[in-house]
Chains A and B, each alone.
Chain A
Amino acid sequence: MESILTFLTENKDAIFIIVLSIFLGFEVISNVPSVLHTPLMSGANAISGVIIIGGIILVGHASSTFEWILGAIALFMATLNVAGGFVVTDRMLEMFKKKKK
């Protein structure tokens, strides 16, 4: 019980950010026309690659072999997610654009 209370107190700021972000996310996304569902999902998917920052921190301070190997995997995977995600999204959106008469 006490550990839960400590957790809630110590992480108050982060919990505030999380709760408010949920509302923000709902607010930003609602009423999206279905034509944009796929690119939006793909774009959001690229944003979830923000874990790349964690990867940079890990590899940036890696010392043990375990940290190096797993950190490199994490960073590489996250970069795939970010780069691939944004490029794929751009390709989809490009198609929507060019057929505007």
Chain B
Amino acid sequence: MNAMILLNTLMPGQVVLEYSYLLSAIMFVIGLKLESNPATARKGNFWAASGMILPMITTLLLNKDAAGEGISLANAAAVILIIAAGAVVGTVMARKVKMTAMPQMVSFFNATGGAASAAVALIEFTKAPNQALLVTLLGLVVGSIAFSGSMVAYGKLDGKVGDIFAKFMTYLNLFFMLLIVVIILLVLFGGFDQTTVSCLVYGLLVLSIVYGVSFVMPIGGADMPVVISLLNSLTGIAAAMAGFIYQNEAMILGGILVGAAGTILTLQMCKAMNRSLINVIIGAFGGGGASHADVQGSIKEITLSDAAVLLSYSQKVVIIPGYGLAVAQAQHIAHELDSLLESKGVEVKYAIHPVAGRMPGHMNVLLAEADVPYEQLVEMDDINPDMPNVDVAIVVGANDVVNPAAYDDPGSPIYGMPIIDAHLAKNIIIMKRGMGKGYAGIENFLFFNDKTRMLFGDAKKSITSLVNEIKSM
């Protein structure tokens, strides 16, 4: 009874708390809006961070539980201690990580967010098993999937976990998904006693974690940007579900904003690959679908001095970077090459495919780190009409995003995917470690093109030698 009276009495602290959540939600929106413009992006991040700190403080000071009890001094001290520890660890990790390892770092942080949501949902379930049961279950399930899925993505990007693809994984995943839905329905409408429900909920937790693993496991390298973006949106949804439990506007709005933003990015990535989201998730890329077209022509290598001469006397050069650039950490030396060529009067641009690399916009971040001016990075749709006028296209560690099979070979798994038209350039130099195939495991016709010359070796070493060769000319 006491609680009811307290809830119905207007207390200034509660009003301040509620409105601090509204303010925080507004700051998230402003932050995201500013972050979608290069000129204001950094300010936007600052807004969003402030929008996070504000409700943390007001919650700590003003939150009251159902009985009207505020947070005790001992508990508050524990909260501050844990946050301080997390903030130090998180900041150090974020400061120390190399730019090339950014995708796995983002995945890792995404995993921790998902785990936090799942843990919150689980505690709320044990405290009040019948309250807001649906959203609690959803928070638990989605948070757990986001956690384990992101950890697998982290492991894959860090090279610790390989791809496992087998046709049965598709069916296994569908089965898991179905089972999760069935258990949720059983818990909600089954009318079981408390012990059974608890068992089902813990079963759900384990199943969701397993599903997260088996869902990301078969999805390979080139599809990683899509998956990371999708997992990111799941974490947002999990946080929103937890916000639903507390009827907390900042959590709901913040979480859903992230969910919506992640979904848009995911769909944009899919569009860039001309594939549906379902197709990516089910993982049709990895297996089967072998091309039946015969490859014509032969592989021709180029010497460093020939390449140096060719580049120095060109007018227009386009560099097409891919994941290989990130692996070799060749972004700085690539910038040295373009500056050197520009000093000789050559016009150099970078052609950025939307899904090059392992994270949306991966190449942009790497090249920005190397101080390549923003104007030199050209998006696929803008550079393609100009490709026939390009004297030399240098492909650095990219493969599928320049494979003309996307145009010519209806049997190819990447048929229909928009590519950068490297094959239209007057000369093509391909820097590659060896004759391995791209992620899709298909032959790249571009390598056998008459205009193509291969420069084998690690991208960083190749470009370094090339720069020295040009300098010594």
Q: Out of B36, B56, B374, name the residue touching A56 (CB < 8 Å).
A: B56
Asked if A40 meets B239 with Cβ closer than 8 Å, knowing A14-B244, A49-B116, A59-B82, the reply is no
Tell me, yes or no, whether B254 is within 8 Å of chain A by CB: yes
- The answer to whether A56 and B49 touch across the interface, beta carbons within 8 angstroms, is no
CB distance from B33 to the nearest CB of A (A): 5
Asked if A11 meets B90 with Cβ closer than 8 Å, knowing A39-B41, A92-B365, the reply is no
- The answer to whether B239 and A38 touch across the interface, beta carbons within 8 angstroms, is no
8 A Cβ contacts from B25-71 to A: 28-29, 31-33, 35-38, 41-42, 44-46, 48-49, 51-52, 55-56, 59-60, 63, 65, 69, 71
- The answer to whether B119 and A73 touch across the interface, beta carbons within 8 angstroms, is yes
- The answer to whether A86 and B89 touch across the interface, beta carbons within 8 angstroms, is no
Q: How far is the CA of A74 from the CA of B119 in the complex (A)?
A: 6
Asked if A46 meets B49 with Cβ closer than 8 Å, knowing A21-B256, A22-B259, the reply is yes
- The answer to whether A54 and B261 touch across the interface, beta carbons within 8 angstroms, is no
Question: Which size class do A's interface residues fall under?
Answer: 35 or more
**A78: chain B residues within 8 A (beta carbon):** 86, 112-113, 116
Q: How far is the CA of A16 from the CA of B9 in the complex (A)?
A: 25
- Binary A-proximity of B372-383 (CB < 8 A = 1, otherwise 0): 111001010000
Tell me, yes or no, whether B238 is within 8 Å of chain A by CB: yes
Q: Out of B38, B72, B257, name the residue touching A35 (CB < 8 Å).
A: B38
Q: Out of B38, B46, B123, B255, name the residue touching A33 (CB < 8 Å).
A: B38
Please give me the residue from chain B that is nearest to A61 by CB atom.
Answer: B65
- Binary B-proximity of A80-99 (CB < 8 A = 1, otherwise 0): 11111111111111111111
- The answer to whether A76 and B86 touch across the interface, beta carbons within 8 angstroms, is yes
A residues apposed to B, CB below 8 Å: 3, 7, 11, 13-14, 17-18, 21-26, 28-62, 66-67, 70-101
A-B contact pairs, 14 of them (CB 8 A): A34-B354, A35-B368, A37-B360, A40-B41, A41-B262, A49-B239, A51-B242, A52-B56, A60-B71, A77-B86, A79-B83, A84-B93, A93-B42, A99-B374
Of all A-B residue pairs in the complex, the 8 with the closest CB atoms, nearest first, are A25-B260, A79-B86, A37-B361, A83-B90, A84-B90, A37-B360, A60-B71, A74-B119
